[in-house]
Amino acid sequence: MDIAGSAALVTGAASGLGAATAAALAARGATVYGLDLDKAVAGAEAPADGVTLLAADVTDEEQVRAALARIEEDGAELRLAVNCAGIAPSARILGRKGPHDLELFRTVLEVNLLGTFNVMRLAAEAIAKREADEHGQRGLVVNTASIAAFEGQVGQIAYAASKAGVAGMTVTAARDLAQYGIRVVTVAPGIVDTPMMAGFSEDVRAGLAASVTFPQRLARPEEYARLVTMIAEHDYLNGETIRMDGALRMAAR
């Protein structure tokens, strides 16, 4: 697909993977609408040129529909949706204070899995209205899983379950949306140097980097964004989950 001249919706766009992806797509000529929570949008740095930040909760149907309506009102043609919004609290199934909090597990699944599905289904409805190109293509949805979907560590039960669900939707979503000319691809990043990592000490960060096979460093949000642009421009990538992890296979802890 041609990124230039298209509209793109990016969730979690106030920081980290979402902000880097929004900036990269805008640099390629897309009109980008970034979604994030109210407080995240209020506290975000000024977005890159070509990026408009909108406050919306990905788990809320009406808020996502309102964001999509804004794109339509602006006369932009949505052809790309990228789901980066997510949370990653840590808790064991059974810890010193008792069993895993059920509401915490539910919240992680709601944000990471239900939120991804909600945006995917509503964005697909909007993309399906676009005129197809000469090959029958209308657009693309990129979802974000994690290598925790395959090798979740101690304390990652909710996060691993939610991201395994995202990876598990990929082929079925690609098959469901094929008749509309919409591709679906999932990226499963390893350890990325996002604001979520900012609270770790340099020693901890160095230890995490050393666990990566090669290159022995944390991934950069810009590398995730570059992969998204590559997926968009590579029309034969569909129904696939791509690991971006430096060949890292997570240990138990």
Q: Using one digit for the tens of pLDDT, what is the confidence trace for 206-215?
A: 888 999 999 9
Q: Are 213 and 191 in contact (CB under 8 A)?
A: no
* Percent of the chain residues topping a pLDDT of 70: 99
In a domain, 124, yes or no: yes
Q: Which of 44, 52, 46, 58 is nearest to 15 (CA)?
A: 44
In a domain, 1, yes or no: no
Helices H / strands E in the chain, number of each: 9, 9
CA-to-CA distance for 26 and 224, rounded, in angstroms? 15
In a domain, 202, yes or no: no
In a domain, 203, yes or no: no
Q: What would the two tokens of residue 215 be?
A: 């290159």
In a domain, 211, yes or no: no
Supply the CATH number for residue 164's domain.
Answer: 3.40.50.720
| CB-CB neighbours of 50 under 10 Å | 16
In a domain, 48, yes or no: yes
Amino acid letter for position 143: N
Domain that residue 35 falls in: 7-194+221-243
Count of domains observed in the chain: 1
What global pTM score does this model have?
A: 0.95
CA-to-CA distance for 127 and 140, rounded, in angstroms? 8
Residues assigned a catalytic role: 159
Predicted confidence (pLDDT) at residue 201 exceeds the cutoff of 80: no
pLDDT tens digits, 107-131: 999 999 999 999 999 999 999 999 9
Confidence class for position 199, pLDDT limits 50, 70, 90: low
Q: Terminus-to-terminus CA distance in the chain, angstroms?
A: 40
In a domain, 235, yes or no: yes
CA-to-CA distance for 105 and 99, rounded, in angstroms? 11
In a domain, 44, yes or no: yes
